[in-house]
């Protein structure tokens, strides 16, 4: 609680009851930073619902809050969350203090989130300092996404990583940051991969247990590693349980890898994984150069091994990355790649030859366009959940719309995130629209029910057949 003009600001009233994880906690889980065995500390935990939900999944999570848990210890942890706290503090010096204290506890990563401009209507609110007093007597500051980045950089002395609008992760070590960035880019593809069921033996004669049966932990873990990195692991990259199983069964790593390639991972799949990892490293390196990221020169030990396998050495990777960057600056090359992507059915062109893509298919775009998008999401983070994006090569702009319910026949969006790469500017604003070409974006056949429904709607509304988004703003 703090006083102002004889009024009281009730900071704790901003703490809501949650039934699902808050967005920053959910993102920490999704990116594999919160996982069993990793402790979490929630700084400004409110009523503690995130702690309860994480605890129920076996995660050791504790927290402190000046109102709800003032007596709790503020203890260091690998993962610390400062979730929607800075925006409820009306005093800038106190915000910096909370940020510094939370960072001091973070051994590996600090997640910082705030409300951002455009997220809630402010009409009718009384302004106070750099924010507003709400009808419930609380204070809210709505940050510009870039303003939050500047605050974190200035106070913590290190560059944060944008994860979603208003949400940043700050890493303690450059190696962890690099590992996160690279895997984030590869993340969608990796998480979509599921284990294959081992092939049934050809003969029905009772046979000695196969290696798949003798190595129920090691083989799936090997397959997962090889799928993600496109290379064979070294022993020290595997979990202790795998070491024990291999030793107990007296099976060498090389033999286990062979068995894995026979049973769980097809050779072509492994080769495709190698190509994908190569491209990921290239895009990652190019973005590191472009953004002059200080951590880019500090790959994690695992990445160093990836680079050696896929490029021979760091110098070769750097050379190829520079060629990529030249490609990005070349507008006609970007536009040609856009047309090529549309011809391959990866997205659709609108009336101004801008490429519109379903977010779930962005990882399948040609590397040059992924690099283009990577530059945009470096500045803005990605929308949470399903979204549609649009690349405008001549104006060097990327726009993203988060879909409220992607299952709707004509999904709606309420907010857009627009990134101007020339000015390095992010603008998040109310922008209600209806998506009219979902069927095409998802690559559905023209005869599909979805496509027919879209056509019927366009005709009924008298909209041009190129219309991708119907603007609902009055």
Ligand X SMILES: C[S@@+](CC[C@H](N)C(=O)[O-])C[C@H]1O[C@@H](n2cnc3c(N)ncnc32)[C@H](O)[C@@H]1O
CA distance 76 to 87: 23
Residue 92 or 301 with smaller CB distance to ligand X: 92
Radius of gyration from C-alpha coordinates of the chain: 25
Name residues contacting ligand X, limited to 203-232 (CB under 6 A): none
Residue 66 or 443 with smaller CB distance to ligand X: 66
Strand partners, 456: none
Strand partners, 113: 83, 167
Q: Which position has the token pair 């455009």?
A: 118
DSSP 73-131: ----EEEEEEES-GGG---HHHHHHHHHHHHHHEEEEEEEE--BTTSS--TTPEEETTE
Binding ligand X (rule: CB under 6 A), the pick from 29, 34, 54, 85 is 85
Residue 26 or 463 with smaller CB distance to ligand X: 26
Residue 87 or 402 with smaller CB distance to ligand X: 87
Residue 15 or 388 with smaller CB distance to ligand X: 15
Name residues contacting ligand X, limited to 239-278 (CB under 6 A): none
Contact between 84 and ligand X per CB under 6 A = yes
Using CB under 6 A, which of the segments 86-94, 239-247, 371-379, 445-453 binds ligand X?
86-94
Binding ligand X (rule: CB under 6 A), the pick from 21, 27, 61, 98 is 98
Burial (CB < 10 A; 0-12, 13-18, 19+), residue 197, is exposed
Other CB atoms within 10 Å distance of the CB of residue 333: 14
Please report how close the Cβ of residue 161 comes to ligand X at its closest, in angstroms.
Answer: 20
Residue 115 or 265 with smaller CB distance to ligand X: 115
Please report how close the Cβ of residue 198 comes to ligand X at its closest, in angstroms.
Answer: 43
Contact between 114 and ligand X per CB under 6 A = no
Please report how close the Cβ of residue 55 comes to ligand X at its closest, in angstroms.
Answer: 15
Binding ligand X (rule: CB under 6 A), the pick from 21, 41, 83, 167 is 83
Residue 14 or 416 with smaller CB distance to ligand X: 14
Our CA dihedral for 299, 100, 74, 65, rounded to 10 degrees, sits at: -120
Contact between 79 and ligand X per CB under 6 A = no
Contact predicate 349/342, CB 8 Å: yes
Please report how close the Cβ of residue 26 comes to ligand X at its closest, in angstroms.
Answer: 11
Using CB under 6 A, which of the segments 31-39, 77-85, 156-164, 386-394 binds ligand X?
77-85
DSSP 11-80: GGGGPPP-SS--HHHHHHHHTTSS-TT--EEEET-TT-HHHHHHHHTT--EEEEBTTTBTTS----EEEE
Residue 12 or 333 with smaller CB distance to ligand X: 12
Q: Which position has the token pair 């050809």?
A: 202
CA distance 246 to 233: 14
Please report how close the Cβ of residue 414 comes to ligand X at its closest, in angstroms.
Answer: 21
Q: Which long-range contacts (CB under 8 A, 24 or more apart) does 96-102 make?
A: 96/151, 96/155, 98/43, 98/44, 99/151, 99/152, 99/155, 99/156, 100/155, 100/156, 101/43, 101/74, 102/43, 102/44
Name residues contacting ligand X, limited to 8-67 (CB under 6 A): 11-12, 14-15, 18, 22, 43-46, 65-67
Number of residues that bind ligand X (CB under 6 A): 21
Residue 93 or 254 with smaller CB distance to ligand X: 93
- Reading the block at residue 273, the tokens are 């994984």
Please report how close the Cβ of residue 169 comes to ligand X at its closest, in angstroms.
Answer: 16
Report residue 434: phi and psi, to 5°: -120, 130
Instruction: Kindly list the residues in this chain that would bind ligand X in the complex (CB under 6 A).
Output: 11-12, 14-15, 18, 22, 43-46, 65-68, 83-85, 88-89, 94, 98
């Amino acid at each position: 609680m703090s006083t102002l003009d004889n009024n009281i600001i009730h900071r704790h009233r901003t703490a809501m009851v949650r039934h699902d994880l808050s967005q920053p906690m959910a993102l920490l889980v999704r990116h594999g930073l919160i996982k069993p065995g990793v402790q979490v500390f929630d700084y400004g935990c409110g009523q503690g619902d995130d702690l309860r939900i994480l605890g129920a999944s076996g995660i050791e999570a504790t927290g402190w809050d000046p109102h709800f848990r003032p007596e709790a210890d503020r203890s260091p942890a690998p993962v610390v969350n400062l979730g929607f706290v800075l925006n409820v503090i009306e005093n800038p010096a106190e915000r910096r203090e909370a940020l510094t204290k939370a960072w001091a506890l973070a051994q590996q990563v600090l997640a910082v989130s705030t409300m951002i401009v455009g997220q809630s209507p402010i009409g009718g609110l009384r302004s106070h300092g750099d924010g507003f007093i709400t009808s419930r007597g609380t204070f809210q500051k709505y940050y510009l996404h870039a303003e939050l980045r500047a605050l974190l950089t200035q106070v913590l002395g290190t560059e944060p990583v944008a994860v979603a609008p208003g949400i940043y992760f700050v890493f303690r070590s450059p190696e962890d940051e690099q590992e996160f960035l690279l895997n984030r880019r590869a993340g969608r593809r990796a998480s979509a991969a599921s284990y294959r069921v081992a092939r049934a033996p050809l003969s029905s004669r009772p046979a000695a247990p196969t290696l798949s049966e003798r190595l129920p932990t090691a083989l799936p873990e090997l397959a997962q590693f090889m799928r993600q990195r496109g290379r064979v692991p070294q022993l020290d990259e595997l979990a202790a349980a795998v070491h024990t199983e291999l030793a107990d069964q007296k099976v060498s790593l090389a033999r286990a890898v062979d068995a894995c390639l026979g049973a769980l991972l097809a050779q072509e799949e492994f080769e495709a994984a190698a190509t994908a990892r190569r491209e990921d490293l290239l895009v990652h390196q190019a973005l590191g150069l472009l953004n002059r990221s200080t951590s880019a020169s500090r790959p994690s030990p695992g990445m160093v091994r990836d680079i050696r396998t896929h490029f021979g050495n760091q110098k070769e990777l750097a050379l190829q990355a520079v060629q990529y960057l030249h490609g990005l600056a070349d507008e006609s090359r970007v536009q040609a790649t856009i047309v090529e992507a549309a011809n391959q059915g990866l997205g659709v062109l609108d009336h101004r030859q801008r490429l519109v893509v379903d977010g779930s298919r962005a990882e399948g775009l040609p590397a040059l366009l992924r690099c283009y998008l990577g530059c945009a999401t470096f500045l803005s983070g990605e929308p949470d959940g399903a979204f549609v994006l649009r690349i405008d090569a001549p104006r060097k702009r990327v726009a993203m719309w988060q879909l409220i319910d992607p299952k709707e026949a004509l999904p709606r969006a309420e907010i857009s995130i627009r990134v101007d790469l020339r000015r390095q500017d992010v603008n998040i604003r109310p922008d209600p629209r209806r998506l009219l070409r979902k069927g095409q974006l998802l690559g559905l056949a023209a005869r599909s029910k979805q496509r027919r429904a879209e056509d019927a709607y366009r005709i009924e509304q008298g909209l041009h057949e190129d219309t991708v988004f119907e603007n609902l703003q009055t």
